[in-house]
Structure 1
């Protein structure tokens, strides 16, 4: 029988599943090898204890080799499911009708270029009343993508043939009186980590730039069912980090010398420049919030487990989330209403209601704010201060709150470990050397380093994550929505780990002319209230109506 300490040591020995295992595949596991391993991860077993463990560790290494022979594509998820619901959390049960007021009296602008910056409800009314056909609107946005896409480096593939087919079908359905709603006939784009049958799905990465996946992601299917028209696959930082991809660096339309941030780089850049009314992005640790800030768009990061990731590239199974990037909170609500909910394929998705409608009395919401973060000195402080004052003048009482005091940033090892598993074959094959970024903080090195996190330490981190989830629940009791500076890394990290939703909205400009944003945070599955408060703010201000320079707009 193996002694108990053997199982403890196996955590230390897990480094053998990584680079050391490749080097030592034909070598004997010795006390010296295990001594080096335990020094690396801060353990101190005696030589006698290490000697007792060598046979077991050798057996595990043999097991690693057998497991590696089993093909595992990126879409195969672990048998472990992350659950963001804390003890004592009560999910809303009542389901209400989704309702957005129709924009009456909308007319075609004298300058057709102004259509580039119309909201979804405005464009929807033009299409519904047949003032413009879906095909005309689709050709208009395809033209803008062709004109400005190369400058912004925000497009991986135009889906022109498919788009025109979908637009013509939408026109036929609308003509026949089969109007499906506000997305019917409206063009959009998707981040190119979502699979599409007829077009490449490149993940923004050199090793996958010619990849074809023979399915449409659930999000793509649902938008097609809503009548939306897919016109482009949009850039992402390589394997969902940053704004550098195999074709270059995606730019912000506010200053094309600057990057758009990422990883939903093309989605934010294209929407901000008026190349699309809305786009789909994803977030693991800031990939909707950050590019929305760099580009001045409105982005919704939903609760973890709200939108199916079937057909999406996996980076971190317990942290990946899909959401819309658009002109306004209301636009985000319209798109989210079409894509949320279970599909029977992503087992993490929860069947929770989304009760966004005009009956939400925003002024009755209990709203908090991270007072210590807002009191700090930071570049966006004046814009954020003005936002808080605008809400107070609107009758919103802001209550100071604080986040849990836990080492959340240390828990981001989750991405390194899960990413290393998701791209295990890429690392072991050596094809990671084909990737554009090769510095020490780039994916190739992160994936390698992730293999040196032991299984024990990964699970201990997830246990601390459970504490974070429970403490967030306690801190947010009595709060519907709270505000945070978008720069606040502690909030961004904690809430991506805990699974809470947010809406990031533009609220001004820096001295250099680049946009600023502020973040509205919500309770789990509380997107309706967050979006409603963000809409109130946008109705009071015009930050979401600002346009980038003349190169992308007919007027400032």
Structure 2
């Protein structure tokens, strides 16, 4: 299990220290506890010792990048996971012709662009300049760009062109421009996390995902917006827009990647998801998003929100492109210890095998979701039209699944504890009840025991889900 959030006991400790016995009993009611007067008297000394220890711990500065000492490893169905890596054929197009105007390439797929680059019908530098121009023209309208990495992009594009011309081809991402959500560290550039308290922050190393994409020859052109500290589409510079409807936010928290990909400002982007942050903006902006299984992609160099729930994944306009990018970023790096094993990724592009697929979906959740019901219904209908057999499923009824949500709140509050205690959370743009400042403060009252019990139930839920 993960971090212990020392919270409820702090409140009890402070009250007992000041001799406020009645208040102790009122506080116990807040947490659903029922101790006698004798039991309260006997625990007083322990609470005072705990409070002393808490104060000592708080004198230590714990940067967000510092990982937790325990590793979360969800149980997996090993019997259903391939053990052998087969040769992968992404079935890229044989030939792709250049359009009449260069800017029409803005909406070509990664697969199509890769063919044009490999056959030297276009250069990486030409593509990069075109995308940089679009980012400059439309970035402010969409509020989707934090920082252009222009010089880095030009250098990487020039190197890609030289390598391709010399017969050195790194693969389908070689020379392809892309953007990243601005919670990924890139040395030499600001990493703002979309939040005012961190708008000038520079992190002196580069995230593993960015390094892997550079090794694949991809060209980083921009750091894109996210809702402040990975919630929603509101950041310190404004509200990121849905390109299809500028009166509407792009959803979040991977707001900038979704908006930029949908508008043809980048061919693909890297987003992150803790609880819907790739899926939701992809749905809103009409693009493809892949939320990989936890532990498939290294989180090293990414802002930590929830150590046991954060995931990084690609956002594209084409499903094959998701596979191309995922292939480049997956796997261990020796730094994120929760990426324990490099499981194979055996991609098979065969539309005729669709009819052999059985796709399970949680019927109750699909029917109860007002937010996404229209698009979800279209997706289910499309699968059925392709011959896929849909299997109705439900989450195990004996486990209160929705009650486990405070796991995220507890971990996020720990990740940004110093922000809360220093009152710098007042600088965040969103100050409503349903926003991080209030959630962080509320999470201070989650007992460590309840956090551990919730994670034990979570383990059981995953086991039952695997059996299903």
Pair 1:366–1:413, CA change in 2 (3 A): same
Q: For residues 35 and 105 of structure 2, what CA distance do their matches in structure 1 show?
A: 69
Q: Provide TM-score, normalisation by structure 1.
A: 0.79
Structure 1's 236 and 362: CA in aligned 2 closer, same or farther, altered over 3 A? same
Q: Report the Cα offset of residue 154 of structure 1.
A: 0.1
Q: Describe the SS at the equivalent of 1:102.
A: coil
**CA drift at 1:31:** 3.0
Distance 1:12 1:382 in 2: 39
Report the CA distance shift for 1:125/1:263 in structure 2 as closer, same or farther (over 3 A).
same
- Does the Cα contact within 8 Å between 2:16 and 2:44 map onto a contact in 1? no
Structure 2 residue 98 is the aligned partner of structure 1 residue 108:
yes
Give yes or no for the alignment of 1:411 onto 2:404. yes
Match runs of 1:266-281 below 5 Å:
266-281=256-271
2:347 is the counterpart of 1:356: yes
Post-superposition CA distance 1:424-452 (Å, at most 9, x none)? 11111111111111111111110011110
Asked whether the 8 Å contact 1:288–1:301 carries over to 2, the reply is yes
Distance 1:422 1:301 in 2: 22
Mapping of 1:23-422 within 5 angstroms?
Answer: 24=14, 28=18, 30-86=20-76, 90-351=80-341, 352-358=343-349, 361-373=353-365, 378=370, 384-405=376-397, 406-422=399-415
Q: How does 1:459-538 map to 2 (within 5 A)?
A: 459-475=452-468
Asked if structure 2 preserves the Cα contact closer than 8 Å seen for 1:264 and 1:281, the reply is: yes
The whole-number CA distance in structure 1 between the counterparts of 2:371 and 2:424 is 40
2:26 aligned counterpart, secondary structure: helix
* Equivalent position SS for 1:301: coil
* Secondary structure of the corresponding residue to residue 303 of structure 2: coil
Given that 1:127 and 1:185 are in contact with CA atoms closer than 8 Å, whether structure 2 keeps it comes out as yes
Aligned-pair Cα RMSD in Å: 2.2
Instruction: State the alpha-carbon separation in 2 of the partners of residues 120 and 463 from structure 1.
Output: 42
Q: 1:358 to 1:296 in 2, by over 3 A?
A: closer
Q: Are 2:267 and 2:317, in contact at CA under 8 Å, matched by a contact in 1?
A: yes
- Point out the more displaced range, 427-436 or 271-280: 427-436
Runs (5+) with no aligned partner, structure 1: 1-10, 476-556
Q: 2:426 aligned with 1:433, yes or no?
A: yes
Sort the Cα spacing of 1:340 and 1:88 in 2 relative to 1 into closer, same or farther, 3 A.
closer
Q: Distance in 1 between matches of 2:379 and 2:419?
A: 45
Decide whether the 8 Å contact of 1:170 with 1:185 is kept in 2: yes
Q: Cα distance, 1:231 vs. partner?
A: 0.2
Distance 1:198 1:299 in 2: 28
- Quote how far apart the aligned CAs of 1:385 are: 4.6
Distance in 2 separating the partners of 1:433 and 1:387: 41
Deviation at 1:217?
Answer: 0.2
Tell me: CA distance 1:359–1:389, structure 2 relative to 1, closer, same or farther (3 Å): closer
Give, in whole Å, the separation in 1 of the partners of 2:38 and 2:9.
Answer: 20
For the Cα contact (< 8 Å) 1:195–1:216, is it kept in 2? yes
Residue-by-residue CA offset, 1:28-84 (whole Å, 9 max, x unaligned): 365334323211101110111101101100000000111112221101122222221
Q: For residues 264 and 468 of structure 1, what CA distance do their matches in structure 2 show?
A: 27
For the 8 Å contact 1:29–1:58, the answer to whether it is kept is no
Instruction: Label 1:325 to 1:26 Cα distance change in 2 as closer, same or farther (>3 A).
Output: same
CA distance in 1, matches of 2:117, 2:5: 62
Instruction: Report the Cα distance in structure 1 between the residues aligned to 2:295 and 2:420, rounded to whole angstroms.
Output: 28
Shift of 1:101: 1.3
The CA distance in 2 between the partners of 1:320 and 1:200, in whole Å, is 21
In 1, the alpha carbon distance for the partners of 2:46 and 2:368 equals 53
Q: Deviations over 1:278-314 (max 9, x none)?
A: 0000001100011011110100000001100000000
Return the alpha-carbon distance in structure 2 between the equivalents of residues 219 and 298 of structure 1.
19
* Contact 1:30 1:54 survives alignment (8 Å): no
